[in-house]
Amino acid sequence: MNITIKEIAELCGVSRGTVDRVLHNRGNVNKETEALIKDTIERLGYTPNITGKILAAKKKGLKIGVILISKGNPFFNDVLKGINRAKEEYRGYGVSVSIHQLEGYDVEKQVKKMEELRDKVDAIILNPINDILVVNKINELVKEGLIVINVNTDVEKSDRIYYIGSDYIKGGETACGILALLTGGSTKVAILTGSKKVLGHNQRIHGFKRIKEQRYPDIDIVAISETNDSDELAYIETKKILENHEIDSIVIVAAGVAGVCKAVQDMNMEDKITIVSFDAVPITRKMLEIGIIKATICQQPFTQGYKSIELAYNHFITGNKLKKDRYIVKNEIKILENL
Amino acid sequence: MNITIKEIAELCGVSRGTVDRVLHNRGNVNKETEALIKDTIERLGYTPNITGKILAAKKKGLKIGVILISKGNPFFNDVLKGINRAKEEYRGYGVSVSIHQLEGYDVEKQVKKMEELRDKVDAIILNPINDILVVNKINELVKEGLIVINVNTDVEKSDRIYYIGSDYIKGGETACGILALLTGGSTKVAILTGSKKVLGHNQRIHGFKRIKEQRYPDIDIVAISETNDSDELAYIETKKILENHEIDSIVIVAAGVAGVCKAVQDMNMEDKITIVSFDAVPITRKMLEIGIIKATICQQPFTQGYKSIELAYNHFITGNKLKKDRYIVKNEIKILENL
DNA sequence: TTGTATGCGTTATCAA
DNA sequence: TTGATAACGCATACAA
């Protein structure tokens, strides 16, 4: 087995406490002693044992606050399942998790909630709004020593410790690829997006276009419309498109699935339009089951939730030692048979 | 936090040792004392703390032997990557892993290797051959207290502690579903299988047929041929099929991808035949990249390897407490864009 | 500047 | 039949 602090102490003829001071740069150590200890650590390749860390960490306890913009958004149901599973599993490790669900893209509310948690938790798992105020607050909290992890969406130029979520560009590429396969590589497609202000939605469209340019010259993007993630608007926009354009496929890169599908059904075009969507909320599952939607691209929501807690814990245990600052989940193609 | 052994001991006015004896049914405890302790445990809902278990387990150490029929089979490369990743991560937990790769379906060799490991390890992770001798040996070792975990393929009527691997039937169903989507639901298909003696291959075909019957009346299975997982035979069989039947799609449920694709290419039928395969070995990736194969169904090989170690460890830690005796990985649809 | 002592929770050995 | 104690490895408060 590996070398331990105790053994280092014995080898150097000092106490465990002194080795500990050197290891954690606490100062108050004689220069020569420190050099000797550092050398020994280096020479014998000391790495702290994980089980010891775990036990010691339990005593300290890790308080995690989760802030999600999840109210009324069924996508987050599985994310929350993952979080709650991890919450149970990590209870015995001294981890406690409080979950705070917000509604709508309200920057002030989000920042206020972060501020509120500041002194109550050691880590914040955040589904961040892409706004300078949020970024600033993230950076402020990280500077104070909090572990801030962005989940599902990342924001630029923030000092967050990790991002866990999907690669939206690759998601769009995958949508393009599967649409090409479903249509023989030739189709007139309408894209329904949530908002042109939302980075993830744009990235999916960007990825779609990129692959289209690269590989599928006969895919023709006829229209791109915003739904505001609202089924009502999605219905209206879809109907408008179907009335004004000759399309044979639709890609839905955000919410609004129910609205889009209803419009297609109301115009009796289920058999003429190939629909590809993202995620697998209940309405999407239903549409897959009745064959309106042919394929949907999922981003492992359960894993996003579960791993966000796991990452926070691992960072708590090991300090800043993890090299990767992003955990990218897969874009999974789901059809009726492997849903 | 939860109640501990120490607290139980104090509450009952006994020592930790006595509580321990009751918890582990070691005997040598006064009946009334035992009743009191058991009652207290029950009443306060004692559950052993995981971090304590981990530390104590480290001292004991867990030796795991892995037996795979993996020589010359590139599918197992990723399984091995998963195993080796877990091997590294669990080293600090006192876990050691030895890997034994066998070649070919040789029952005697496999049983002999199990016998050889019997006294050297606490757990065996096995890619079992479906044979009565193997089953008997599994049961024998489990009865002796070894943790036996079947990976990638399960065998019937064995007392193995876990199976981790895919649902082959669902894999076949998924293949049928994606083929239906790629061909508009109407196709004449040839199925290339490895061997009619291999359960997994049969189950994939079974699943394919089931979904075909249920949902896709216009899918027509024109031929089913065995390749013995050999590219040479796959080439010959594929050519034979292409010469004698009017098919427009091929499903490869086992190895032999290179042979099948070469036959299709040699007959200049790349554009006429839709090929769906399983797994993503290097040749399959290449065929996806050049468009010969349209989609392949993967079974999370890395996860199979990683989790097999994790399951062995968890079982070692918690005793027999886990409810599920199967960990079923997903059947993932991979195309060029999300490979 | 350095060492000692204790705790985290379970397990196991030894002594009574 | 039971209790006391050490061990696992790290962290830290406190004493010297």
Per-residue pLDDT tens for B112-168? 999 999 999 999 999 999 999 999 999 999 999 999 999 999 998 999 999 999 999
Q: What is the pLDDT of residues B311-321, one digit of tens each?
A: 999 999 988 65
Say what percent of chain B tops pLDDT 90. Answer: 86
Closest CA to A276 of A206, A173, A127, A159: A173
Q: What is the pLDDT of residues A156-192, one digit of tens each?
A: 899 999 999 999 999 999 999 999 999 999 999 999 9
Q: Which residues contact A115 (CB under 8 A, 6 or more apart)?
A: A137
End-to-end CA distance of chain B: 44
Q: Report if CB B56 to strand C is under 7 Å.
A: yes
What pLDDT is attached to residue B284? Answer: 98
> In this structure, how many other beta carbons lie within 10 angstroms of the beta carbon of residue A7?
15
Closest CA to B49 of A312, A84, A95: A95
What integer best gives the mean pLDDT of chain A? 95
D5 C1' to A145 CA distance, Å: 40
Q: What is the pLDDT of residues B166-176, one digit of tens each?
A: 999 999 999 99
Q: Which nucleotide is nearest to B17 (CA to C1')?
A: D3
Q: Which residues contact B268 (CB under 8 A, 6 or more apart)?
A: none
The tokens 């030895």 sit on which residue?
Answer: B98
**Phi, psi (degrees; rounded to nearest 5) at B37:** -65, -45
Rounded Cα–Cα distance for residues A222 and A182 (Å): 18
Task: Closest CB to A335: pick one of B54, B92, B178.
Answer: B178
What integer best gives the mean pLDDT of chain B? 95
Name the token pair of B22: 């009751």
Q: Which residues contact B123 (CB under 8 A, 6 or more apart)?
A: B62, B63, B64, B65, B146, B147, B148, B149, B312, B315, B316
What pLDDT is attached to residue A104? Answer: 87
User: What mean pLDDT do residues B198-223 have?
Assistant: 97
Q: Report if CB B27 to strand D is under 7 Å.
A: yes
Q: What is the pLDDT of residues B237-264, one digit of tens each?
A: 999 999 999 999 999 999 999 999 999 9
What pLDDT is attached to residue A335? Answer: 98
Task: Closest CB to A177: pick one of B55, B181, B335.
Answer: B335
B-chain residues near A177 (CB < 8 A): 335-338
Residue pair A62/A123 in contact by the 8 Å Cβ criterion = yes
Residue pair B253/B172 in contact by the 8 Å Cβ criterion = yes
Rounded Cα–Cα distance for residues A68 and A330 (Å): 21
- Smallest CA–CA distance, residue A297 to chain B, in Å, is 10
3-state secondary structure (DSSP) of residue B159: coil
D2 C1' to B28 CA distance, Å: 9
C10 C1' to A140 CA distance, Å: 41
B-chain residues near A336 (CB < 8 A): 177
B178 has a chain A CB within 8 A of its CB: yes
Q: Report if CB A318 to strand D is under 7 Å.
A: no
Closest CA to B146 of B138, B134, B155, B158: B138
What pLDDT is attached to residue A2? Answer: 86
Q: What is the pLDDT of residues B88-122, one digit of tens each?
A: 999 999 999 999 999 988 999 999 999 999 999 99
Rounded Cα–Cα distance for residues A176 and B260 (Å): 27
What pLDDT is attached to residue A140? Answer: 97
Give Rg (Cα) of chain A: 25
**Phi, psi (degrees; rounded to nearest 5) at B278:** -120, 150
Nucleotides on chain D that have an atom closer than 7 A to a protein CB are: 1-14
Residue of B87, B338, B339 to mutate, testing the A interface (most A Cβ within 10 Å of its Cβ): B338
Q: What is the pLDDT of residues A122-134, one digit of tens each?
A: 999 999 999 999 9
Rounded Cα–Cα distance for residues A252 and A171 (Å): 12
Rounded Cα–Cα distance for residues A141 and A131 (Å): 16
Rounded Cα–Cα distance for residues A128 and A135 (Å): 8
Give one DSSP letter per residue of A119-160, joined into a string. TT-SEEEE---S-HHHHHHHHHHHHTT-EEEEESS--TT---
Q: Report if CB A51 to strand D is under 7 Å.
A: yes
Closest CA to B330 of B310, B300, B308, B296: B300
Task: Closest CB to B337: pick one of A47, A52, A211.
Answer: A211
Q: Report if CB B318 to strand C is under 7 Å.
A: no
Residue pair A77/A83 in contact by the 8 Å Cβ criterion = no
What pLDDT is attached to residue B73? Answer: 93
Q: Give the single-character DSSP code of B272.
A: T
Cα angle A134-A135-A140, degrees, rounded to a multiple of 5: 95
What pLDDT is attached to residue B323? Answer: 75
What pLDDT is attached to residue B261? Answer: 98
Indicate the residue type of A248.
Answer: D
Rounded Cα–Cα distance for residues B197 and B226 (Å): 10
Name the token pair of A28: 């108050």
Q: How confident is the model at residue A58 (pLDDT cuts 50, 70, 90)?
A: very high
A50/B93 CB distance under 8 A: yes
Determine which of A44-58, A114-128, A293-307 has the lowest per-residue pLDDT on average: A44-58
A55 has a chain B CB within 8 A of its CB: yes
Q: Give the single-character DSSP code of B166.
A: E
Q: Give the single-character DSSP code of B3.
A: -
Q: What is the pLDDT of residues B257-282, one digit of tens each?
A: 999 999 999 999 999 999 999 999 99
Residue of chain A whose alpha carbon sits nearest to that of B60: A1
What pLDDT is attached to residue B322? Answer: 61
Phi-psi region of B291 (alpha: psi -120 to 50; beta: other; left: phi over 0): left
End-to-end CA distance of chain A: 44
C-alpha to C-alpha distances, B71 to A143, B67, B77, B105, B260, nearest whole angstrom: 51, 11, 10, 11, 22
Q: Give the single-character DSSP code of B194.
A: S
Residue B193 has pLDDT above 80, yes or no: yes
